A and B are shown apart, each in its own frame.
Chain A
Amino acid sequence: MNADPNHRGVKVSVRGLRKSYRGQEVLKGLGFEVQPGEVFVIMGPSGSGKSVLLRHLIGLESPDAGEIRIGDEPVSCAQTMHKYRLAMVFQSGALLNSLTVGENVGLYLAEHRTQSPEEIARVVSDKLAVVGLKGTEDRMPAELSGGMKKRVALARALVMEPQLILYDEPTSELDPLSAVVIAHEIVNLNRRIGVTSLVVTHERALAFGIAQRIAVMDAGQVLVTGTPDEIRRCGIAEVRKFLNADLNLVTKTQPS
């Protein structure tokens, strides 16, 4: 499988990316590079511009300044979208509410006429099984829980056999067991087809569990990039604060 050149991950590089909405600067000249086939995690507090960054990477927004290259093409040109298969798992899932789960997952194949309906049905049930939702083809997205929607969205991205996959908070809203399943699948997919994976999250456990390299973001800037070990040893105050934030309030306020 890995020998197929279409199935190899692509490189992503971002330089000096800036974006403002109504005068408020959200991305402040950030840059990083992701190697082909890498699992790269971007961490950062809520509102630091992670989702906005992903929307730029997949070409839904155009930057005010700076450059994004995927493979060897700048993202702004329409060709990139045709040349490379890019997929995104949205924070909210973004399933089409008027279609069933099965139709949602098979949408890419059905619209691009790559396979026969029977073939598509088979692929769809395969991918749903992968995310632990076997047999839910005929249900409507409105009947699913938030976590299930997210898993369907992941299945929909898997169907594309992408070369670059962007995950926006893939495990938020999931129970710990499903989160492990999804984390497994992210890593598996990366190993199986060598897809470049860019994961945005604020969950430290997930980040350190799957990342080959991590970037920590705050207020529209990348504070530091490095391997998980380097990040753990990083001395920057904001990064330390973010990594060491502790929810364990009960034992602190009630010393026994």
Chain B
Amino acid sequence: MNMFQSIGEVFVLGWRTFLALPLAWRHRRKVFDQFFEIGNASLLMVCILSFFIGAVLVLQSGPVLVERGLANYVGGMVGITMCKELAPVMISVLIAGRIGSAMAAEIGSMQVYHEIDALRTMNINPVHYLVLPRMLALALALPMLVIFAIMVGWLGGAIVAASNLRIAIPMRPYFETMREIVEVGDVANGVFKSFCFALIVGVICCHQGMDTIGGPRGIGRSVTKAVVNSIIMIVILDYVLSRLLLE
């Protein structure tokens, strides 16, 4: 019962934020502030994470493919998995943990310490003031981070492919075979998925923040719930979107 109520509230919050979109220009300062905060907090992590994901992908599958004479497919395999699946999902999970948790904590503490009440008494709509800028910044930043992650991941794979003796595919053929297989649509597919994940992470974490009750322990509880629910929803939505986009 409680779960369904929360899901309903999440949808309502998402809808209210959507209706507030025309006010986005007025709040552009806050959007940019949030945007840069997201970038600052996560760019290095995104870089490391995607580099090693690309690297380990080649390390695990490279020898298997090369032994069977499929060396031509190493680049394409890394290209596709990275851009359609691994970068969007892993980066979104990372962002849920890094940024979503911070959003839930910040809004949660504002709720607990009556700051949101104070906003309401000043006739400032908390959805416009707090949720809209965060959602927009996330919806803008996450797809960009994913594009960046895709490229770093490809590069990570390329370096392992070239340097590992059991694989030994130089950079040039690696990227050439990748170009034959990966299309712009595949990258767009992954970027679109990450945009959807951004919306779901943003709305879940902001809602959970505003739903916080109790003192500091309540904030802690909210943060955990926000991150766990975000990750679960990312994984479920990933399947649904992949299925739909397959057509």
> A residues within 8 Å of B by Cβ?
55, 58-60, 81-82, 86-88, 90, 92, 94-98, 107-108, 111-113, 153, 156, 160
Most A CB atoms within 10 A — which of B26, B110, B113? Answer: B113
Q: Contact residues of B with A, CB < 8 Å?
A: 26, 106, 109-110, 113-115, 117-124, 129
9 A-B pairs (CB sep. < 8 Å): A60-B120, A92-B113, A95-B115, A96-B110, A96-B118, A97-B110, A97-B115, A98-B106, A107-B122
Instruction: Give Cα distance in the complex from A153 to B113, angstroms.
Output: 14
Q: Which of B113, B118, B123 has the most CB of A within 10 A?
A: B118
List the A side residues contacting B118 at CB < 8 Å. 88, 90, 94-96, 153
Are A90 and B117 in touch, CB under 8 angstroms? yes
Alpha-carbon separation in the docked complex, A81 to B125 (Å): 12
New A-B pairs, 6, CB < 8 Å, besides A96-B115, A113-B26: A86-B121, A87-B122, A96-B118, A96-B119, A97-B115, A107-B122
Query: Within the complex, what minimum Cβ distance (angstroms) separates A51 from chain B?
Result: 10
With the chains together, A97 CA to B113 CA distance in Å?
A: 10
Taking a contact as CB atoms under 8 Å apart, the answer to whether B114 and A112 are in contact is no
Question: Nearest Cβ distance between residue A56 and chain B, in whole angstroms?
Answer: 12
Q: Which residue of B lies closest to A81 (CB)?
A: B123
Q: Which of A55, A59, A88, A94 contacts B115 (CB 8 A)?
A: A94
Q: Which of B26, B106, B119, B121 has the most CB of A within 10 A?
A: B121
> Which residues from chain B contact A98 at a C-beta distance below 8 Å?
106
Most buried by B among A86, A96, A112, A156: A96
Closest residue on chain B to residue A82 by CB atoms = B123
The 9 closest A-B pairs by CB, nearest first: A94-B118, A94-B114, A88-B121, A108-B122, A111-B124, A96-B115, A58-B121, A60-B117, A90-B114
User: In the complex, are the beta carbons of B122 and A111 less than 8 A apart?
Assistant: yes
Cα distance A92–B119 in the bound complex, in angstroms = 14
Shortest Cβ distance from B124 into A: residue:
A111
Residue of A nearest to B27 (CB): A111
Query: Which residues of chain B are near A156, meaning CB under 8 Å?
Result: 122
Q: State the CA gap A160–B109 with chains docked (Å).
A: 25
CA distance A82 to B119 in the complex (A): 14
